[in-house]
Structure 1
Amino acid sequence: MTADVERAAAPSVARRIGGFALRALKLELRIYSSIGRFITRRPAVAPGAAGFGYHTPVFTILMIFIVLSAVEIPIIDLIVHRWPVVRITFLILGIWGLTWMFGLLAAYLMRPHTVGPEGIRVREGLEIDILLTWDDIASVARERRVDEPKTPKITEADASRTLSLRMQDETVVVVELERPTVVRLPGMPPKGGAQAVDEVRIWVDDPGGFMDAVRQHI
């Protein structure tokens, strides 16, 4: 019986490991893609669409981490310079970490929310990129909400499921959907993967401009 249970569980474990490895690879590639967009000043905004940032609440924090990562490299190099193997290892890790932090900042800057002819595309950092077409959308409104810290992205209330892409626990725009709509989140179920939601809440740095753009299409 035990052997049968182990054999049944093995594919699930393998899928999780494979999913984690694929997700890590996609993140790494998106880091360099975001840096490339930052250098060439090409934000991921479709023709005819307008981009709206959501990075202001975390910009200072990311900049602090980038500066600390940059300062850390020569300090550690000075400490371990007598051991070449250790020195090279820490140098590689330090440069990789600094690159990763800069790529994350670039992703926030170069992958904004967009409003355009195809609909509203909501994003968050490196991974989340969800297109809500105008046929999916029932209404869009400004509505500030502050959730408790560590509240899950997906919440349920009154038989309705809400996806909240918060910045420091806040959202300022709510997009109500015509019907339960499947969106794909990073990670594995139950928190990730395909999720049916009835509304999406997001943070936008310029909610007024966002709503003006929405009114041109809805």
Structure 2
Amino acid sequence: MGDRTFGYSAQVKPFLWVFIVVTPLEVLLVELIVPWFWLRAVLLVFGVVGALLLGWQIWMLSKFKHSVDDEYLWLRYAREFEYRIPLAVIENVTQGTTSRTLHRTRSVVDGTLVLEISGSTNVSLRLSEPQAVDLGRRGAHDVTEVEFWTDDPGGMVRALRK
């Protein structure tokens, strides 16, 4: 997975844990309020499945981190996407928080690949040559800049400047 890994989910994980903790309380409340067994059973199944999905999301965010190896910067978001950027095309790396609030984990805006967490990015890359990025149904784009979030922006910048 690379020589150095960098998390990106420290802002998101607390909210996911809150929902996992609240789910049993919700199931208990449904048991007390809803008089029909069949509806309680259905809502119990939905509650358990929801908690399992939240747990799976937390695990995926912890397992699939950004990483830097000898040749590439790997940018990831759980299993949703993974982009590989050759270190040789990274012209400039800067640290600084920007807020775009695009309401998507990945977007291309004016030739910039934006991978935001909670509406923010904190590391910016300028590339020496365009890189192709496939956004699935939103099409393929050539990008010359990348903005993304990492929990350790200083460490990421140091790793990319070596």
Partner of 1:59: 13
Partner of 2:160: 214
Q: Scaled by the length of structure 1, what TM-score is found?
A: 0.65
CA distance in 2, matches of 1:131, 1:166: 17
Q: How does 1:22-171 map to 2 (within 5 A)?
A: 45-46=1-2, 49-80=3-34, 82-83=36-37, 85-147=38-100, 149-150=101-102, 153-156=107-110, 161-171=111-121
Structure of higher CA gyration radius = 1
Identical pairs, percent: 29
Give 3-state SS (helix, strand or coil) of 1:182's partner: strand
Point out where structure 1 has 5 or more consecutive residues left out of the alignment. Answer: 1-44
Deviation, 1:195, is 2.4
Count of aligned positions: 160
Q: Which has the higher helix share?
A: 1
- Structure showing the higher strand proportion among its residues: 2
Q: What is the CA deviation profile of residues 148-167 of structure 1, one whole-angstrom value per residue up to 9, with x for unaligned ones?
A: x33662211xxxx1111122
Using the alignment, how far apart are the partners of 2:45 and 2:157 within structure 1? 45
Alpha-carbon deviation of 1:82? 4.2
**Shift in Å, 1:68:** 1.9
Question: Deviation at 1:95?
Answer: 1.0
| Cα distance, 1:188–1:65 mapped onto 2, change above 3 Å | same
Q: Distance in 2 between matches of 1:122 and 1:78?
A: 46
Stretches of structure 2 lacking an aligned partner (at least 5 in a row): none
C-alpha distance in 2, partners of 1:195/1:77?
Answer: 50
Alignment-mate amino acid for residue 132 of structure 2:
V
Provide the rounded CA distance (Å) in 1 between the counterparts of 2:24 and 2:62.
Answer: 20
- The CA distance in 2 between the partners of 1:129 and 1:212, in whole Å, is 21
RMSD (Å) for aligned C-alpha atoms: 2.2
Gap change, CA 1:133 and 1:70, over 3 Å in 2: farther
